Structure 1
Amino acid sequence: MLARRGEPHPELLQQLGMPSFRQRLPWLGGDLQTLRDTLRPVRLPSDRGEAIEIAVPALPSGMAGSGHLLALFDRPQSTRQARGLVLLLHGLGGSSRREGLRRMACALQTAGFAVLRLNLRGAEPGRHLSAGTYAADCNSDLGPVLLRARQLCDQLGREGVASRGAVPLLGAGISLGGTMLLNACLEPSHARAPGQAVLDGLVCTSSPLDLAACSASIERPRNRVYQRWLLQRLIRQTLADPFGVTVQERGVLNGEKGQSPPATIREFDAAITAPRWGYGDVDAYYAGASPLSALLENPSRLPPTLLLQALDDPWVPAEAAQQLAANMSPSSEQRIQVLLTAHGGHNGFHAIGGCWGDQVVARWLSKFGA
């Protein structure tokens, strides 16, 4: 399903009981929509997530040893049984504490879902638990996470007045977190049984489908402030590794011995991400970890999936989502829905009454709730 040129998709929005997206003053345009939470933080309840540590193996490159990822488990706001469990992943430079992710988690809790907010490898507040950093395709980490999430689904199904089977396992990914979940769903070994989808439903908000195009977009002169902010977070996160970094990595990141530190996300990925995750170079990483080709060739491996993308996103170009929507067959449209909006920025979607995007995510996933 496609909203051409960012026009509302009336059929899908009508099914969700949602109005078309309208920007809220003064947050007009992609940049202000993107920066709204930074410029004017929203009020959120105290974080009462239950800490869960999930064991993960060593990185494919063999650096350091195995470790753990930290996840925060949030119960539904109501006292009734959970309608399902949503595995919620942050994006590049994010964590379980970021306002956009916590705000989405609150919307899902209000809708009756339990939520598992995962801190990816190297992200605070779980930086001390594992060596290395995450990547767009980190299936070796997400495999154990999915297994633990299914155990929680079984536990939630046994709770309450009437015991029942496991509740649905759903996914929601913000930016690069959505890319990771798409790649996890395309990995057959993660399936609960042959032919079964990894998740029961998935929503990806502002998620890169073509990493090379996304990298080129963030390198545009207009985005130099964004790129500098992301790079500073990534370099600081990498150097803070309590398990250590190699002499070569430290030299590159600190600009030692006449070297210049990474000036772009691509240079960081070439020096750190690609070799750590077993890719020969950054081009191989971008090609191998971009889900667009696999989605075009074989969308049947996905669960029912919604891709939400704004045309004025300053970070993630919309062309890949448009290409996917334009080339879907009638059968693949049953698996993938693409909702494009003219405005909304990068995981912004700030409208009168709150975040329109969060409500789309909660209502769309509610179709699969118990």
Structure 2
Amino acid sequence: MITAPEFRPPRLIRHAQIQSILATKSPRRRRWLAAGSRMEAVAQHHMLDAGDGVRLTGYHSQQADRTPRGLAVLIHGWEGCHDSTYLYSMACALYGAGYDVFRLNLRDHGGTHHLNREVFHSARIGEVLGAIRAVQAFAAARPLFVIGFSLGGNFALRVGIHGPAAGVVPRLTIGICPSINPRATIAAIDDGPALFRWYFMNKWRKTVRAKAAAWPEYAAQADRYLQMNRLLDITARFAEEQTEYGAMEPYLAAYTLTHEQIVGAPSPLAIITAADDPVIPLQDFRGLSPGGSLRHLEVTAHGGHCGFIENLRLQSWAERRVLALLQRAV
């Protein structure tokens, strides 16, 4: 199912774990020091009214000396934020290519645990659509593009699927290593390499503690969650106690994306993923092919989870590919 054979990272950084680590760690930030400085110099922090009293935050960087080619809204993965290395690097690439960029923080991410009493969960697509509508209201740049990573890729694809009915119509939505089958992703973390399980669980535990510190009424529940070690067990209890779904199966179903939904979306979509991703199983995409609203499905042999580092200078093939896809859409 390899559809993008031109991505061939050198052997030294080819392993999936190395690719995944390079997606999240700081050495890549040095590559974008100049572009990042330009982007940060014009970045404005926004508190967004996402509807129903929900507040989300993000950073908007507008082109300072040229007409923007469009507005790109970027959505991080689970326990990431506007400043995550993979997202920041993509934002710099987009800004350097002439796009306005908005780096959105999901609820309870990016140090925003205090803003909303109810906890984050992955089915909260309505507030993400509300936040993007708010961004569109003050962002003059058109057209709109939405790019998400991992769980953020799931959110991004749902923006493309549900957005047009809510007044959010992307010219193109791109999911990078998107978690379209949450149960499979949870199982991959629980049963996969210990490094990834430790990484996600450690970040999640910090979030649980931060939420309890901001809202002490969650302290007792937080203590119970922190004693659990498997993400599937945590998700089952969390769905019962903290979501409107009352049980894990309907909760997971609320943000599982079927092939039919993807192909039949009312706006154009694209997916970039890696066959060796240790978090997003390749099996989730078998039987899916470009057609209908799915304009591009690109599967590389290597790349790990949101990595796609193509050389020892730590340049990203995914960034080059996203720029090419946006150019076609423009």
Find the aligned partners of 2:219 and 2:96 in 1 and give their Cα distance. 48
Residue 194 of structure 2 is aligned to residue 208 of structure 1: no
Shift of 1:119: 0.8
Given that 1:121 and 1:132 are in contact with CA atoms closer than 8 Å, whether structure 2 keeps it comes out as no
Q: Helix, strand or coil: the match of 1:236?
A: helix
Q: Helix, strand or coil: the match of 2:280?
A: coil
1:362 corresponding residue in structure 2: 323
2:250 corresponding residue in structure 1: 284
Choose the corresponding residue for 1:253, options 205, 225, 228. 225
Given that 1:143 and 1:190 are in contact with CA atoms closer than 8 Å, whether structure 2 keeps it comes out as no
Could you list the per-position Cα deviations for residues 33-84 of structure 1 after superposition, in whole angstroms to 9, with x for gaps in the alignment?
11124566221334442101012356xxxxxxx44211100123x6211111
Could you list the per-position Cα deviations for residues 303-337 of structure 1 after superposition, in whole angstroms to 9, with x for gaps in the alignment?
21110010000111011122322xx6x5x2x5342
Choose the corresponding residue for 2:47, options 53, 71, 96. 53
1:172 corresponding residue in structure 2: 147
Shift of 1:274: 5.9
2:233 corresponding residue in structure 1: 267
Structure ID, larger Rg? 1
Shift of 1:190: 4.3
Give 1:181-196 correspondences, 5 Å limit: 181-187=156-162, 190-192=165-167
Go from structure 1 to structure 2 and tell me whether the alpha carbon gap of 1:34 and 1:274 turns closer, same or farther (over 3 Å shift).
Answer: farther
Pairwise CA RMSD: 2.3
Shift of 1:276: 2.7
Bigger drift between 316-325 and 182-191 goes to 182-191
Given that 1:266 and 1:282 are in contact with CA atoms closer than 8 Å, whether structure 2 keeps it comes out as no
Choose the corresponding residue for 2:294, options 309, 323, 335. 335
Find the aligned partners of 2:180 and 2:186 in 1 and give their Cα distance. 11
Aligned residues between the structures:
318
Go from structure 1 to structure 2 and tell me whether the alpha carbon gap of 1:75 and 1:324 turns closer, same or farther (over 3 Å shift).
Answer: same
1:26 corresponding residue in structure 2: 12
Shift of 1:189: 7.1
Find the aligned partners of 1:298 and 1:173 in 2 and give their Cα distance. 15
Residue 62 of structure 2 is aligned to residue 75 of structure 1: yes
Residue 264 of structure 2 is aligned to residue 300 of structure 1: yes
| More helix, by proportion | 2
Shift of 1:262: 2.2
Structure 2 stretches lacking a partner, 5+ long: none
2:282 corresponding residue in structure 1: 318
Given that 2:20 and 2:307 are in contact with CA atoms closer than 8 Å, whether structure 1 keeps it comes out as yes
Q: Helix, strand or coil: the match of 1:128?
A: coil
Find the aligned partners of 2:24 and 2:182 in 1 and give their Cα distance. 25
Shift of 1:236: 1.6
| % same residue | 22
Go from structure 1 to structure 2 and tell me whether the alpha carbon gap of 1:275 and 1:188 turns closer, same or farther (over 3 Å shift).
Answer: farther
Given that 2:157 and 2:174 are in contact with CA atoms closer than 8 Å, whether structure 1 keeps it comes out as no
Given that 1:203 and 1:365 are in contact with CA atoms closer than 8 Å, whether structure 2 keeps it comes out as no
Go from structure 1 to structure 2 and tell me whether the alpha carbon gap of 1:86 and 1:178 turns closer, same or farther (over 3 Å shift).
Answer: same
Choose the corresponding residue for 1:239, options 209, 214, 221. 209
Shift of 1:24: 3.2
Find the aligned partners of 2:238 and 2:22 in 1 and give their Cα distance. 30
Could you list the per-position Cα deviations for residues 217-254 of structure 1 after superposition, in whole angstroms to 9, with x for gaps in the alignment?
1111x422211221221122122121344355223124
Given that 2:164 and 2:266 are in contact with CA atoms closer than 8 Å, whether structure 1 keeps it comes out as no
Go from structure 1 to structure 2 and tell me whether the alpha carbon gap of 1:147 and 1:368 turns closer, same or farther (over 3 Å shift).
Answer: same
